[in-house]
Each structure stands twice: as structure tokens, then as C-alpha cells.
């Protein structure tokens, strides 16, 4: 099989498992996955991998580790583990949530977690009356609400999340997102920082001028905070043709980004089909060692997804 680049997506690395975040890895699992990547793959920084894709020197089974959004545990939990194993990651930051912000999905999750009643009655918001008496019901309620809100217009989605939080009587917890000091800690440790917009909208739900402004503001704010050029970008949500389209790829190019990552499965390969502004990524959710490696192998065999042509 020819040289391939597998780009892994993470969001959080929890200090310990959280039943309401079943899709997030914890520290012990993350460390096991790092060991497997070191043993069976050739981990590279993303900028190095991009260069080697272009010059034809990509090693067999190359891999990159990436994180989206900018959670505080990226610095608190993930960074020490990466350093212990001598590995590199790229962190894509939605700058509008630094220093105490909270993303809409986390607002909803905390509302369900803290809801005191056996039901969370959201009918006056035009939503459902959801049972939340036990863990299974809470997980189902979260899945329902995230699905209902995800593709709402950006402002409406933010508003609904806050109203759900208020209806549940939830209170603010410890900041979930990075502080500026933690962001600079990642940079000082040699990790790469990329842009992920200012406010993490689904770009396809915005008028083009608003989408471009959010991408540009995220880039400029991050560059101001770290005093360095930012050349890497991650599309929020990141499904080609659904969450972003050709116009957004063109925006990313015009704003000076050298490479951008999506969330469609597959691997990048050197050659004619390579699109550096739509690099595929995937999330390795398997807990077991063999299943994790099998998933990586299957992803390497994935047919390259159809991409919107930036023209």
C-alpha cells in the first residue's frame, strides 16, 4: 500500500471517565493510544506531514494527532502525556471561547447533568419534555437536544442552549475551555496551533460574508494572542458538502491558510488527488487495542470522499 497520512481527531482528554461524555477519551485510554501510534505508525507534526505529502517523502503509515475547539484539558491532561511520549499534536482553537467561554453543546450537556427533576420540561421553548431520571435517560436527552439544535441558525442555537440551561436551573462549573495562559503553554511546549473560527458556527448556515468574517477573525485573534502566523485551519463540524462548501474552501485559501482539515473519513495520499485544503480526518473511538488498530487500518482503506471543488 502506498504512503498514507492518517489524521486523528480528538476534542477532550478527560482526567477520568465521565458517563455523559462516552465519546471522549480519558487519560489512561489516550496514553494507550499514544503507545500504539508510536509502535505501529510514524507520528508527525501536521505541518511536516503536509510538506512531505507535497515533496513525496511521506513515510508509510504516517499519522498526525489533532484536537478541535480548545478545551482546558488539552493543556492540563493531554499535553503532559504527549510530552511523556515525545509526540506532537496540533490544536485547532475556536478563539471566542477562550478565558471562560462555553460552547453550546457543553451548555446543553451541563443543563441535563444538573437538571433536578425526573423530567426536563422544555415545551415552552418549542422542544420536548425529556425524562432525565437516570444515566440512560440523560444520555438520550443529550442526544435528542444536540440533534435538534445542531443545524439551527447560529444565534438561535446559542439562545436555545442558554434557555435550556436556565430552565434546568443549572449553574456554571469550572471553565471547560483554555485560558490564554494555557494556550501559550501549548505553544511554548512546541505544539502547533491552528484556527477553528471565532465562534465555531457551521459555516454553511451563515451568509458568505459572515462565514468569511468568522474565519478571518478567528485567525487574526489567534495570531495576536500567540504572536505567530497561523497557517492551519479546521472546518467546524467539518463534513464536506454539508457543513462547508466550495465557497468556504476558497475563503480559507484567500485568507492565507496553507492546509485545512475536515472530518470526512479517509487518508491523504501524495499525488494528483491531494487537496491540502480538505484533508480527511477521523475519530478512533474504539477502546480496545486491537479494535483501535483495526479501525485505523480500515480508515486507510477508505475511498477518498467526494469534495466540493473550490474552483
Could you read off the pLDDT tens digit of each residue along the chain, which spans 311 residues?
A: 479 999 999 999 999 999 887 778 999 999 999 999 999 999 999 999 999 999 999 999 999 999 999 999 999 999 999 999 999 999 999 999 999 999 999 999 999 999 988 999 999 999 999 999 999 999 999 999 999 999 898 889 999 999 999 999 999 878 899 999 999 999 999 999 999 999 999 999 999 999 999 999 999 999 999 999 999 999 999 999 999 999 999 999 999 999 999 999 999 999 878 999 999 999 888 889 999 999 999 999 875 554 565 43
Q: What residue has cell string 426536563?
A: 120
Taken as a whole, the chain contains a residue count of 311
Q: What residue has cell string 443529550?
A: 142
d(CA 177, CA 283): 20
- The DSSP bridge partners found for residue 279 are 261
Determine phi and psi for 43, rounding to 5 degrees.
Answer: -70, 140
Structure-block grid coordinates of residue 101 = 467561554
For the chain, which domains are there? 5-99+178-301 (3.20.20.370), 104-168 (no CATH)
Q: What is the pLDDT of residue 273?
A: 83
Diameter over CA atoms, the chain: 59
Q: What is the pLDDT of residue 2?
A: 78
Cα 86 → chain centroid: 22
Is residue 187 within 8 A of residue 228, CB to CB? The reply is yes
Minimal CA–CA distance to 53: which of 246, 273, 297?
Answer: 273
Q: For the whole model, what pTM was predicted?
A: 0.93
119-121 and 129-131 beta bridge pairing:
antiparallel
Sign of CA dihedral 48, 54, 59, 60: positive
Amino acid at each position: 500500500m502506498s504512503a498514507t497520512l492518517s489524521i486523528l481527531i480528538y476534542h477532550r482528554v478527560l482526567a477520568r471517565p465521565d458517563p455523559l461524555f462516552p465519546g471522549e477519551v480519558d487519560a489512561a485510554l489516550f496514553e494507550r493510544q499514544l503507545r500504539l501510534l508510536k509502535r505501529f505508525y510514524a507520528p508527525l507534526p501536521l505541518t511536516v506531514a503536509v510538506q512531505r505529502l507535497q515533496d513525496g517523502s511521506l513515510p508509510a503509515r504516517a499519522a498526525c494527532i489533532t484536537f478541535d475547539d480548545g478545551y482546558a484539558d488539552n493543556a492540563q491532561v493531554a499535553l503532559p502525556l504527549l510530552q511523556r511520549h515525545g509526540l506532537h499534536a496540533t490544536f485547532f482553537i475556536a478563539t471566542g471561547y477562550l478565558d471562560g467561554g462555553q460552547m453550546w453543546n457543553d451548555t446543553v450537556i451541563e443543563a441535563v447533568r444538573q437538571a433536578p427533576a425526573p423530567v426536563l420540561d422544555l415545551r415552552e421553548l418549542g422542544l420536548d419534555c425529556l425524562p432525565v431520571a437516570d444515566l440512560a435517560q440523560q444520555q438520550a436527552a443529550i442526544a435528542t437536544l444536540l440533534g435538534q439544535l445542531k443545524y439551527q441558525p447560529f444565534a438561535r442555537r446559542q439562545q436555545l442552549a442558554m434557555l435550556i440551561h436556565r430552565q434546568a436551573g443549572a449553574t456554571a462549573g469550572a471553565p471547560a475551555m483554555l485560558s490564554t495562559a494555557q494556550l501559550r503553554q501549548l505553544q511554548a511546549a512546541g505544539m502547533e496551533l491552528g484556527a477553528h473560527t471565532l465562534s465555531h458556527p457551521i459555516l454553511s448556515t451563515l451568509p458568505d460574508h459572515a462565514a468569511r468574517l468568522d474565519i478571518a477573525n478567528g485567525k487574526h485573534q489567534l495570531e495576536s494572542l500567540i504572536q505567530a502566523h497561523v497557517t492551519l485551519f479546521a472546518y467546524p463540524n467539518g463534513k464536506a458538502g454539508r457543513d462547508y462548501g466550495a465557497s468556504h474552501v476558497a475563503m480559507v485559501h484567500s485568507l492565507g491558510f496553507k492546509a485545512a482539515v475536515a472530518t470526512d473519513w479517509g487518508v491523504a495520499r501524495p499525488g494528483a488527488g491531494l487537496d491540502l485544503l480538505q484533508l480527511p480526518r477521523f475519530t478512533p473511538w474504539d477502546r480496545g487495542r486491537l479494535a483501535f488498530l483495526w479501525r485505523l487500518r480500515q480508515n486507510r482503506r477508505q475511498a477518498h470522499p467526494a469534495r466540493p471543488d473550490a474552483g
